[in-house]
Structure formats: C-alpha cells, structure tokens
Structure 1
C-alpha cells in the first residue's frame, strides 16, 4: 500500500519532523548558499554520502573548503549529466548509502516531487529541494509546518 508523506517547507535548522522531502525556501542566492552550507555541514558528519544534483555554478569548491566541508563525502552531479533525474532521485532516496540528497526546483518540477512523495515511506535519506520565493509562488505542493 502506498503511503503519502508530508512535504514540508523549512529552513535547514528546523528539523523536528522526519519528512523525507523538504522544500527550502530562500530569498536570494546568498541565503541559499548559507542554507546549503548548513545542510551539507550537518550531514557531512553522518556515515552516508551527501548527493548534490546542482546547477553549474553551485557549489563553489572554495566556499566548501573555507567552511571545512569534507568533500570526500560529497557527490556533486551536474543536471546536464543526468538523463532521468526522477529515476536518479528515487534510487538515491531508497539507497542506504546516502543520508541527504539536495537539488533545486529548476531541476525537479512539481509533478516529479508529487510522484516522489508517494515513494518516501521507504526513504533512507532526506531530500532537500531549494526554491526561491518566485518559484515558490508557482510550486503549489501541500506542506506541513
């Protein structure tokens, strides 16, 4: 039987609900970078990998190094190198080797998030999907606070 999971809108420091899909709203690129660093730093101490399916300009290697992020536990894949992003995300969520998967709403659309929501009852990792305020107005997925 399929179980629905809550998609919640959070800042990375609000982690009281173990939902597998987390929408991280940011106002601009600077706040997105800070939130990204908080999430990566938090999961960098875990046993699993952090998978980052990212646009070309994110993250900066210098920024990660300056914040003492262990890049040996961070796997960065550029969107242009993935044929089926939904398949990759679903596999990563179910695979026990990842503790966090991070992506952006310009990479994953609303329909893909809704489909993934149905499969999160077996998720072994947290999915963080970054969105800006402008994109959030168009992304109308239900959320839990």
Structure 2
C-alpha cells in the first residue's frame, strides 16, 4: 500500500487530515509557525490523549498557551536538545496509544527518518505533524 506525505501550507491549512499520513506544514517564519501550532494544539485540547510537542528552542510560552485556552496538563513538551534518541521517542509515541497528536519539525529529521515514520504511522491512530521551515519538494514522495 502506498502512502503519501501530505504537505500543508499556512495559507491553505486544513484541520481535516488523512489518518494514514504525516501532515507536513510549511511555514514561512516563526510567527506563522506559532499560529499554526496554536491551531493544532487547540484542536487536540479537547481530545482524551496527550499531545507531544518535540520542539526546537522556539516553544510557545505558558502565557501564550493560557491566552489560547490550551490545557497545559495534556501537553508534553520535549526540547530537541534534551533528547538522546529522537527515533525511539517518536516511534514510542506513535505506537503506545496515549497520544492523540505528535508534533515535530522536519529540520530535526532526515529523509530516512521521515520514511520510517511514515511506515510507522500506517498502523497508528496518533496524528503526526511535521513543521517545515523550508520549501521542500516532497509532492511526489511515496513510501511503500
């Protein structure tokens, strides 16, 4: 079965996602990244599972989360610099059933890791979002 990696842009972002794919979100700057991140966090705020945010140094402040009515008790934030094995954390989060969404940035992942995550995502009910701060040509990227 072939699975595609969906690319979402800020201008046409849609919260209706395909369960079997990774949602790549192209952003242009830190402001658009924060805006899109808040939309995703707000969407999963009312669901039963945790939301895992594996983030580079720019993570949302507690005051911003409060102002957007995000329940911080359902949000687990791990900074990239505190991870020793990113692959293990992502695969565990996708497969343990306690997370409704996992959010990361593609500049943390190489193409091989992205392919492995796409394969792991096929059997997972957890939604996976990858923010990309550069234009990527993954339109025809397929994983078998």
- Pick the TM interval, shorter chain: 0.7 to 0.9
- Contact 1:110/1:141 (8 A) holds in 2: no
CA distance in 1, matches of 2:86, 2:140: 22
CA distance in 2, matches of 1:98, 1:14: 17
- Contact 1:7/1:143 (8 A) holds in 2: yes
Q: In the alignment, which residue of structure 2 is the partner of 1:53?
A: 54
Q: In the alignment, which residue of structure 2 is the partner of 1:18?
A: 19
Give the SS at the match of 2:113.
helix
Please give the root-mean-square deviation of Cα atoms over the aligned residues, in Å.
1.9
Instruction: Give the superposition deviation at 1:112.
Output: 0.6
Q: In the alignment, which residue of structure 1 is the partner of 2:87?
A: 86
What TM-score results when the alignment is normalised by the length of structure 2? 0.87
How many pairs does the alignment contain?
139
Distance 1:16 1:98, change over 3 A: closer
* 5+ long unaligned stretches in structure 1: none
Give the SS at the match of 2:129.
strand
Divergent runs of 4+, >6 A? none
* 5+ long unaligned stretches in structure 2: none
